[in-house]
Structure 1
Amino acid sequence: MIISQHQHDLETATGTMRTYRYSPIEPGNYPCLIFYSEIFQQTAPIARSAKILAGHGFHVLVPEVFHELNPIGTVLGYDDAGKEKGNNDKWTKPLEAHDSDTDALIKFAKDLEGCNGNVGAIGVCIGGHLAYRAALNPNINSAFCLYPTDIHSDTLPANKGNNSLENINNIKGEIHFIFGKQDPHVPVEGRVKIYQACQQSGINFQWQEVNAQHAFMRDEGERYDPALALLMYQQAVSLFSRTLA
């Protein structure tokens, strides 16, 4: 499918959030995907991933995940300065603010002309955590979480009792987890912790551990695995086509 590109400034509980939308140009009613980025916000690799997904028949929304902490349009570099700023933003913004961002995105999606009213979530790195976090919202039908960080460690700021993993029973839709076995950000003991919580909760989940490093989806840098990335796109499209139709 040929796609179009748009920008929207959505009002959230914590301020204006620039959101980038990629949509099929062919008229129709398509599902919406919220695509949560890495700490660097919408970099060129994130935009390319969003376009790939949109071309399979989805409206794809890419929010600026740290809009409260940066000027609109901020993109951090894949360098030490960008990592330091992005990680500081990650440790500063509370999960409750991400939750209210998700509420605003869901409302926008459901009001969007040409959307069939169904919404899914996908994300990479911290965005994988945010896709998982979005799945706690009953309006999210399904989620695809690629190497999600900080779920196992409970290191992101939140009010007492609002830990992501402790609230796993709130997930009503289907959720897929994908982890790289060589990813130091989510070591084996962390993956075991998340897997056991999924099993004990009885949620509808699928689990994959692949031979890959962190950020293997990012088509810049030495950790990129093109064949594995292609497989992940296919699996994500399959999940969302089935659950959001």
Structure 2
Amino acid sequence: MGETRSIRTSDGGTMSAYVARPGRSPAPAVVVIQEIFGVNKVMRDITDGLAAQGYVAVCPDLFWRIEPGIDITDQSEAEWKKAFELFNAFDVDKGVQDIAATVADIRGDSTCNGKVGAVGFCLGGQLAYLTATRTDADASVSYYGVGIENRLGEAGKIGKPLLMHIAEEDQFVPKPAQAQIIGALKDHPQVTIHTYPGRDHALARVGGEHYHEGDARTAGERTLAFFRQHLG
């Protein structure tokens, strides 16, 4: 079971976060960046899973400025409607600032050894990319990030390793956008890209319509190997 942590943001607000800790410390930390459904069971399970792998894992409530405590699923039309309303109201720039505050907060925690990575999904996949361009996180992982093609002007700011998972049939990242992203980043010395043929958006969301156990496992193994290499 995890715990709730309060994090002070750069503009003086207070944001809650779900934290799961490993059996041993100090350990490297990973910031888990939510999808559009809030800090729900899927995100908490990912956070718990990273703790089981030896990381201090923390999932901040990035929708706190709109509505704190969002915890919905992808299982009903009403929840999807709510999720897209939150997505459309979300301030990406403020969100990245809140991620930077989370990185700084957990880096200073007594159970963290000073190394901090990030992993994000969907909206969080875009935010993970921006974490690589705008924060001092030591390594970032983006799962099927939405809207990255509109942020490629920041690619020159990537100074730490970034791993990207792209679903080739992603309905929210169409093939022209994928081509832009891959074309701009494939030769970047800090970027590693894996694509997943035949897979749609959210291939790794357990219980989701497009979940694929085999490719989710492959992506997860690649992510853990990446974190072990760059965080320890």
The bucket for the TM-score relative to the shorter chain is over 0.9
Q: Which residue of 1 is the match for residue 23 of structure 2? A: 25
- Whether the aligned pair in 2 keeps the contact of 1:138 and 1:172 (CA below 8 Å) is no
Assess if the C-alpha contact under 8 Å between 2:60 and 2:99 holds in 1.
no
Q: Which residue of 2 aligns with 1:233?
A: 220
Give the secondary-structure state (helix, strand or coil) at the position aligned to 1:136: helix
The question of 1:7 aligning with 2:9 is answered no
> Which digits, 9 at most, give the CA deviation of each residue in 1:170-215, with x for residues without a partner?
1101111111112111111101111122146x34111111031111
Mapped to 2, the partners of 1:43 and 1:103 lie a distance apart of 21
The amino acid across from 2:147 in the alignment is D
**Residue 186 of structure 1 aligns with which residue?**
173
Shift of 1:76: 2.2
CA RMSD across the alignment: 1.6
Write the deviation string for residues 38-60 of structure 1: whole angstroms up to 9, x where unpaired.
10012212211221121111011
Query: 1:206 aligned to 2:192?
Result: yes
Q: Which runs of 4+ in 1 moved over 6 A?
A: none
Identify which range, 46-55 or 59-68, moves more after superposition: 46-55
> 1:65-214 maps to which residues of 2 (within 5 A)?
65-71=62-68, 73-78=69-74, 79-152=76-149, 154=150, 164-199=151-186, 202-211=188-197, 212-214=199-201
Pick which of 106-115 and 84-93 moved more.
Answer: 84-93
Q: Distance in 2 between matches of 1:138 and 1:96?
A: 12
Question: Which residue number corresponds to residue 157 of structure 1?
Answer: none
Task: Name whichever of 216-225 and 142-151 sits farther off.
Answer: 216-225
Q: 2:63·2:70 contact (CA, 8 Å) conserved in 1? A: no
How far the C-alpha of 1:14 sits from its partner, in A, is: 6.6
Report SS of the residue matched to 1:68.
coil
Give the secondary-structure state (helix, strand or coil) at the position aligned to 2:138: strand
DSSP 3-state at the match of 1:241: helix
Distance 1:199 1:231, change over 3 A: closer
Give the whole-Å Cα distance in 2 for the aligned partners of 1:213 and 1:167. Answer: 26
The alignment of Structure 1 onto Structure 2 pairs a total of residues equal to 229
Q: Percent identity?
A: 23
TM-score by length of 1: 0.88
Alignment partners' CA distance in 1, 2:112 and 2:134: 19
CA distance in 2, matches of 1:101, 1:170: 19
- Determine helix, strand or coil for the equivalent of 2:86: helix
Could you tell me the TM-score, scaled by structure 2's length? Answer: 0.92
Structure 1: 5+ residue runs without aligned partners?
155-163
Q: Please state whether the residue corresponding to 1:134 is helix, strand or coil.
A: helix
Give 2:173's aligned amino acid.
Answer: V
Q: Does the CA contact (< 8 Å) of 2:141 and 2:223 recur in 1? A: yes
* C-alpha deviation, 1:77, in angstroms: 3.1
Cα 1:75–1:178 change in 2 (3 A) is: same
Q: Is the 8 A contact 1:14 1:68 kept in 2?
A: no
Structure 2: runs of 5 or more not aligned: none
Partner of 1:161: none
Deviation of 1:235 (Å):
0.9
